[in-house]
A and B are shown apart, each in its own frame.
Chain A
Amino acid sequence: MTFLWAFLIGGLLCVVAQLVMDWFRMTPGQVLVIFVMAGAILGGLGIYGKLVNFAGAGAAVPLPGFGYTMVEGIGQAVKQKGALGLFTGGLTAASGGIKAAVVFGLVAALIFKPKS
């Protein structure tokens, strides 16, 4: 069942992003920035967490999930370290993704050449 919800919710988030881009004539970069910030805000309001529990990867894989992950990480870190957690929590939680992107990006740039 989670698979169906992952498809529906993940697809819907992408549709909203597509409509925002087409209607407001935004660049993809602008849309991504808005969506990562929206994910953080909805995460803070406790809404995005419910969506993740419900739709799994459908909510976690799109970019708002990235903002949500960082907010959650900050929550955890603040509990343990207080104010310092505001600085360390976000990146700790997102470190897997960011580091993967840097390392794989570097490797891909060394191996592959752009084609078209």
Chain B
Amino acid sequence: MGVARRGKATYETTNVWIRGTGSVVGPNEGSGPLKGQFDRVWPDEQNGQTTWEKAEQAILSEAYDEALRKSETDWSQIDLVVGGDLLDQIVTTNFNGRTHQRPLAGVFSACATFTEGLGVGAMLLGGGGLERVMVSAASHHQTAERQFRFPLELGYQRTPTAAWTATAAGAVVLANERGPLRIEAVTFGRVVDLGGKDPNDMGSAMAPAAYDTIQQHLADTGQSAGDFDAIFTGDLGHFGVEMLIRYAQEKQLDLSEVLDDCGRSLYDADQQDTHNGGSGPGCSASVFAGPLARRLVQGDYRRLLLVATGALFSPTTYQQGESIPCIAHAVAVVREEASR
């Protein structure tokens, strides 16, 4: 057990394991290229709930259920819940606390909330005293649209760089007893703002933040990008990935071989009309808790760096003409072969 500092912003954790993951997504997410790799897929975006907000709470609750079931854990064994979402006052996560009744630490880094939660949870576990921590993040297309953009039935044309907030939730049970996957190190990002102002192009705004955190992680741990089987950013989307590869190239870091993006892989852009790709805290959370965790366990990857990216603006700040500050947090996840 323990946490050791490496370099400027990275912490190596020992004996922090992922015991089980739960992922639940909406119909669009469940019928895209990652079809069949989530635990549950909702038949429609509302799934019998009376409001979109309740639907978001319900999808997170189901992700909790799946994570608990697969990790053979009962709520009473969870010492702390670390989670967040996109809605004001992180209501989705907080309202779920009414029912699960476990100690709750809400976190917020917009769409980077999931890796922030994983990082905080891993360090607390590594630090000792806790035995099991639930980490979660969720988002819902309809609730995010009404908070950040326009009413659903208002006609408007999306631009090619606009992101599609995913209806999705992911939850992970971390434990200090051996599980299939181990959290090796976490890097907390700093806020990077290179002046992007367009809320319909968050990919290019977030790419420099992703670069900053990735290079910090590599520098702090003395690794190169090739030491990972894959580096997954959160929701840069098609355009953001292009921008990140180009921007990193200028800084002498070649990411083109290993880089992929959760938001980009979630939808089929041609068939599903999702433009730049998926976004939202639930995007990276569900893609990790479903497909990526599966690939790690099955052996497609052994070492994965998950770098969720967040745009830290509000509707008020962009209407006031402020640029969009961005952040990214990185978590390195490895599969440990059974030692005996």
Interface of chain A residues 10 through 42 with chain B (CB within 8 A): 25, 28
Q: Which residue of B lies closest to A27 (CB)?
A: B156
Bound state CA distance, A115 and B152, in angstroms?
Answer: 7
Q: In angstroms, how far is the closest chain B Cβ from the Cβ of A100?
A: 18
Q: Assess the A114–B151 pair: CB atoms within 8 A.
A: yes
B270 on the A face (CB < 8 A): no
- Contact between A28 and B153 (Cβ–Cβ < 8 Å)? no
Interface string of A84-116 (1 = CB under 8 A from B): 000000000000000000000000000000111
B213 to chain A, nearest CB (A): 29
Which residues of chain A are within 8 angstroms of B142 by Cβ–Cβ distance?
114
In terms of DSSP, what is the predominant structure of the interface of chain A? loop
List of B residues within 8 angstroms of A25 by Cβ:
198
Interface string of B172-216 (1 = CB under 8 A from A): 000000000000000000000000001000000000000000000
Indicate if the CB atoms of B152 and A28 lie closer than 8 Å: no
When distances are taken between beta carbons in the complex, the residues of chain B under 8 Å from A28 are: 156
The CA-CA distance from A18 to B65 in the complex, in Å, is 48
Inside 8 A of B156's CB, which chain A residues have their CB?
Answer: 28
Nearest residue (CB) in B for A21 is: B157
Q: How distant is the Cα of A17 from the Cα of B151 in the complex, in angstroms?
A: 21
What are the residues of chain A within 8 A of B151 when measuring CB–CB?
Answer: 114
Who on chain B is nearest to A108 by CB? Answer: B153
- CB-CB nearest in chain B for A116: B152
Chain A residue nearest to B28 (CB atoms) is: A116
CA distance A116 to B151 in the complex (A): 10
Q: Which B44-93 residues have a C-beta within 8 angstroms of A?
A: 45
Q: Roughly how many angstroms separate A28 CA and B149 CA in the complex, as a whole number? A: 12
* Minimum Cβ distance to chain A for residue B238 (Å): 19
What per-residue 1/0 map shows which CB atoms of B136-150 lie under 8 Å from chain A?
000000100000000
Shortest Cβ-Cβ A-B pairs, 4 listed? A114-B152, A114-B153, A28-B156, A116-B152
Chain B interface residues toward A at CB < 8 A: 45, 142, 151-153, 156, 198
Q: List 10 A-B contacts (CB under 8 A).
A: A25-B198, A28-B156, A114-B142, A114-B151, A114-B152, A114-B153, A115-B152, A115-B153, A116-B45, A116-B152
